[in-house]
Structure 1
Amino acid sequence: MEINYKNIKVIGFDADDTLWVNETYFRDAELAFAKLLSKYETANKIDQELFRMEMDNLELYGYGIKAFTLSMVESALELSNYNISTKTIESILNIGKDMLNKPVELLDGVEEVLKTLSKKYRLILATKGDLLDQERKLEKSGLTDYFHHIEVLSDKKEANYSKLLNHLDINPSEFLMIGNSLKSDVLPLVNIKANAIHVPFHTTWAHEQVSEEETNGKMYKTITSLKEVLNLVK
């Protein structure tokens, strides 16, 4: 069935790995972390334990680099049986600081798409993560002026989106969300009768992956480049 976007009035964009590079820096950090702890465990085991720690801490710390850094420290303590040196702890903290200081690298076509769509539609940014870090990245990106509203959500579930749309007085059928994550940017919107376009990024955090069964029968489009949005939403 063909999806028609003629009733769309408001378009929401995810930030990380939709507008700018993010997950790549986490993968690099995981490699650096595994190297630091290599005398205690294999790289695969370290990666598994770090992910487990992140999941255990999710409700307490939420998403973002600071939460990730705290989970690295806790994982290092456990993996080393609490024998980790203060020097290594400092190195772990520096991995996190380095991530926070990364430049904002816009993905291909981002500014062109936002500039074009902002002439006809109300654009909003709907992202999750650490508020301070997301504000910093948005400021560095130079994209702030394209957005009518900016929302940093604690999570991206159906209830979060419904609350956001109610707050902004947006009918779900008139809203389109664009993002790289099926779990966070697509399926929750489809489930509340809104519209969504999936723009995959080349790497996806394990927590954001979904099964084929979860996507069966769901109405959304997948495109290979953000610039393709301009052919769908005119």
Structure 2
Amino acid sequence: MSQSIQPDKQTLLFDLDDTLIHCNKYFDIVIHEYLKLMSRWFDDYRVEQQDILAIQSRFDLEGVSVNGFVSTHFPQSLVKCYTFLCEQTGRVYSQADYEILWKLGLSVYEMEVEPYPGMLDTLNRLRDEGYNMYLYTGGETLIQQRKIDQMKLSVYFDDRIFIRQHKTTDALSSILDQLKTNPLQTWMIGNSLRTDVIPALTNGINAVYLKQNNEWAYNLVDVDVEPKGAFYTIDRLTAVPDVIQQWNTKRNDDVI
């Protein structure tokens, strides 16, 4: 009889933003304020809100694709959209307007973050069941560390935290090389198909996709990688321990 698979030999890498804590909702708040401002400024030029949003989103996606998760890419998308519309409509460009929009864009990083429902229950259960847990998040160190400290996540991850400006297949591969774990006993849990799921499956590890109702367009891509192990889609964080346990039970049954 083969030895059963024990959870204490398994490694879990958790994404942070919109997996353990809220993130997109704060950007939505700023975008709402942005559209109100821009609609007022460009009302005489008959620019519709949906057009403003489409242009801003285009600049946003272009920025993060080139520069990664730097704090300036979001305010840059706001001011680039403003500048573009001034050029297109003939509205007089204002440096004061520019500075208002830049400050508005940066304000998203100053908001107090909130945990996702069930964050503490999920992390407590996984810790108590003996899993090796790591945090792997994208962004600037100071901003991400502030969130980690505010949520007191070092209680669960200690110094087992990776912060990368670019969350790519290569970035995850480098982390996995450091950890030297068994791929089939290693999991990536996150809300992004682009930066969590595809890099995980490409590196041959298990993936849990936490699907969100209102996801950032950057994260939504087709998954064209064949899983070598597990690939689950869930809609609530508290389901993470159950799907991992389900997979462990299945593998134990297969090797007996």
Q: Which residue of 130, 151, 154 corresponds with 2:140?
A: 130
- Whether 2:159 is the aligned partner of 1:158: answer no
Q: 1:141 aligns with which of 131, 147, 151?
A: 151
Distance 1:139 1:176, change over 3 A: same
Whole-Å separation in 2 of the counterparts to 1:215 and 1:56: 22
Larger Rg: 2
1:6-55 deviation line (CA, Å, top 9, x unaligned): 56521010101001111111122222222222215321221121122123
Residue 217 of structure 1: how far off its partner (Å): 5.4
Contact 1:186 1:196 in 2 (8 A): yes
**Equivalence for 1:92:** 101
Aligned positions of 1:32-181 closer than 5 A: 32-38=33-39, 39=42, 41-81=47-87, 83-119=92-128, 120-148=130-158, 149-181=160-192
Segments of structure 1 that go 5 or more residues without pairing to the other structure are none
The answer on 1:29 being equivalent to 2:30 is yes
The residue type equivalent to 2:166 in the other structure is D
CA distance in 2, matches of 1:64, 1:31: 21
Deviations, residues 194-217 of structure 1 (Å, cap 9, x unaligned): 001111122111111123xx3585
2:201 to 157, 177, 190: 190
Residues 193 and 217 (structure 1), Cα distance of their counterparts in 2 relative to 1, 3 Å cut: closer
Higher helix proportion (structure 1 or 2): 2
The number of residue pairs the alignment matches comes to 229
Question: Once the 2 structures are TM-superposed, how far is the Cα of residue 170 of structure 1 from its aligned partner?
Answer: 2.2
Aligned letter for 2:94? S
172 and 155 in structure 1: CA distance in 2 versus 1, 3 angstrom threshold:
farther
Task: Say which SS state the counterpart of residue 198 (structure 1) adopts.
Answer: strand
**Aligned counterpart, 2:239:** 228
Mark the CA change 1:5 to 1:181 in structure 2 (over 3 Å): closer, same or farther. Answer: farther
Instruction: Provide the aligned C-alpha RMSD in A.
Output: 2.3
Change (3 A) 1:158 1:61: closer
Percent of residue pairs bearing the same amino acid type:
28
Structure 1 residues 10 and 216, CA gap change in structure 2 (3 angstroms) = closer
Q: CA deviation at 1:126?
A: 0.6
Cα offsets for 1:85-132 (capped at 9, x unmatched): 233223212322421221111011101111221230111111112222
Distance 1:216 1:187, change over 3 A: closer
Query: 1:201-216 alignment to 2 at 5 Å?
Result: 201-211=212-222, 214=223
In 2, Cα distance between the equivalents of 1:223 and 1:136?
A: 28
Which ranges in structure 2 are unaligned for 5 or more consecutive residues? 246-256
With over 3 angstroms needed to count, the CA separation of the structure-2 counterparts of 1:63 and 1:83, relative to structure 1, is farther
